[in-house]
Structure formats: C-alpha cells, structure tokens
Structure 1
C-alpha cells in the first residue's frame, strides 16, 4: 500500500514532465492538449478511470521491423480494429503500461521499444479522444488521454489473444492505422524503420 501511495504522488510530476517534453519536442503546431493540460492544472486524478471528463490510457503501436505490418486487436467494447492498449496501470515508465497491455491482450512476445524513443518515456503521439460510456459500469461518455508508444515485434511469432477483452489479435497491413490513428501515420512518414 505504501508503494502505491508513493507512486500516485509521483504520477502528476511524471505526467507533467512527459507532456511538456512531448509538446516541446514532438507535437505539431495544432496540438495543444488543452483538455489534458486543464485537467492536470486542476489536479484531477488522471491515473484513475473514474475521473471525468477524462483520464489516462496508454497504447502500443506495434510494427514489424520493416514497418509494413501492424499488430491490431478487434476490440470487444468498441467493436473495431485498434492498436492494443487500455487504462493506465502504475508503472515505472508510461511505455511499460502500454507494453503490458499489448502483451496481455495479444500474447505478443519479444516487444522492443522503437529506436525513435531513444529509450525515453516520450510518447510518439498523445491523442485525446471521445469514447462511449459503458452503462454496465455506470460510465458516461468520456475522454481517453492516450499516450501512444511505438514498438517493434516479429510477426512470425505466435499470438494468444485475451478473449475476455478482444475478439482477435492479428497482424495487418500498416495502412490500417490510417482508419483510426491518422497522427501516427503522419508521424511515421518521418521515422526510418530499424529493419
């Protein structure tokens, strides 16, 4: 319990540093992250899924070494193909939360943080987006502030999808990212594949 308390106190400081680094080094001219920054300024507990109007999630954009394929999940609640991810779980680094979600949902092994990150916790994209509520949990429609990280994995390795959370996990053509992650696609154009 003591460790969780210390983590939750450190969380706002780490999130603030991560958002500032993203804004100064990565964000495009129209990315202001206004709602996220307002909630941070108000002291909202963004690490708790019961915080509204929004809270933190992390996700993994997983690419094959040549960047031609991406690993996607067929999301049970949303009903479409997306990158794996979920609500933030306490971790030493935000990318570790994204990695854990990806491994749990897909069974992927051998994930490596993409060299673009240079070993840092700087997100590739921060995307605040509306999500439908979940009446079974008394959740109203709200916002997910999603810290998105790039990973590399071998598409030849077997996958074991977590069927309670996803209908399927599957490698697909990387062009599929354009249907739900346009910022990722745009930014990937400037990133060399490590293959």
Structure 2
C-alpha cells in the first residue's frame, strides 16, 4: 500500500470527535482524491504532514519542541518522506528523529487534524494538512535536542508554556487516553515492530 492510499484509508476509517474535525477530514479526503502528490511538500497550495504529541508514561506531561523556524512551542512532526508508507510511521519517525527517545509507541489512529498556514520559508498562501497522533514515551524520558529545534522540554498537561498555539492546547486535551478503537486493536505500533512494508 502506498503512503497516499494509507492516508486515505486511515482518514476514511477514523471516527472524528466532533463536527469541526469531521469537516476537516472531508477536506483532507477531497485533497487526497484530487492530488496524486498530496503527501509531498511540493504539492501546492496544500499537502499532508504527520505529527506526534509525545506523552510520558503517566500521561501527565507532554514533550514539546521550540521549533527552529516558527520559534513557538509545538508537538513534534513534519513532512512525509519517500521511505514512509504509513502516516503513523511517518509521525513515529519524526518523533524519534526530533527527540532522540527510544521505545516510543504510537496509537495508529489520529487524535486530531489541524489545517494551518505555513508561516516559515516564504510560503504564504500554502497550508499544512497535519494529521496528529499520540505517542507514548517509555520509562526513559531523556531527550536529545535536534538541529530542527531551539529546545525541547517536558510540560505538565495543565501547565503548558505561555502563548502556546490553541491547536496544541486542543491536542493536549485529547491526549490522556488512547482512542477507543485502538483499545480494541491488537497492539500499539513501536519503532521496533513498525515496518514500512506492513
């Protein structure tokens, strides 16, 4: 299955939590149906991205990055790459690369969708169609700041940094429990058992 096909299947099968998210899902699916390159950063005016809200094992803290270009505290994530075959795999790869954490587990169903204008790199009028997942860290939560970040930090879910974007705050509110459908699935996806060809 291609990344494009996986994104279509994931969003088609996802149960949005509210009417606004349902409307966004339909927008994403229409975009996927209209563009063969919908997954790649070269697609304009919009393209899909994958991000991960990393939570600690107690689900009381989240790991945010002070983004190197946007200079705001955000969840981890970014553009899909040619080696990605699933949206969840892309989000897990981004979380691992940007945090240095090992043993991460990802709920393969989205938590939230977020359509936002690209504000960095002179891309005015272009938008990210971000698919946001919940990732749980293992017992070791010592991160490594990547070249893409000014900083990384754990924040209590009830004490997010000042000025955090509302979409990040909304994402954190949705994060305490894995999705109900995932609770009935066989397992979470980890970097150890994730394979692009599955």
Common fold by TM > 0.5: yes
Aligned to 1:143: 127
- Label 1:155 to 1:54 Cα distance change in 2 as closer, same or farther (>3 A): farther
**Map of 1:1-195 to 2, 5 A cutoff?**
10-22=2-14, 25-31=15-21, 32-33=23-24, 34-89=26-81, 90-113=83-106, 117=107, 121-135=108-122, 139-154=123-138, 156-162=140-146, 164-175=147-158, 176=160, 179-188=166-175
- Label 1:76 to 1:61 Cα distance change in 2 as closer, same or farther (>3 A): same
Is the contact made by 1:133 and 1:141 (CA closer than 8 Å) also made in structure 2? no
Higher helix proportion (structure 1 or 2): 1
State the number of aligned residues: 173
**Gap regions ≥5 residues in structure 2:** 184-198
Is the contact made by 2:65 and 2:76 (CA closer than 8 Å) also made in structure 1? yes
Quote the offset at 1:50 in angstroms.
1.4
- Compute the RMSD of aligned alpha carbons: 2.5
Is the contact made by 2:116 and 2:128 (CA closer than 8 Å) also made in structure 1? yes
1:106-141 per-position Cα deviation (integer Å, ceiling 9, x unaligned): 21122112xxx3xxx321212212221413xxx334
Any idea what SS the aligned residue of 1:100 has? helix
- Label 1:35 to 1:96 Cα distance change in 2 as closer, same or farther (>3 A): same
Quote the offset at 1:11 in angstroms.
3.0
**Gap regions ≥5 residues in structure 1:** 1-6
Superposition TM-score, scaled by structure 2 size? 0.76
1:61-106 per-position Cα deviation (integer Å, ceiling 9, x unaligned): 1111111110111101111111110101242321111111111112
Is the contact made by 2:3 and 2:85 (CA closer than 8 Å) also made in structure 1? no
Name the CA distance, whole Å, in 2 between partners of 1:64 and 1:124. Answer: 16
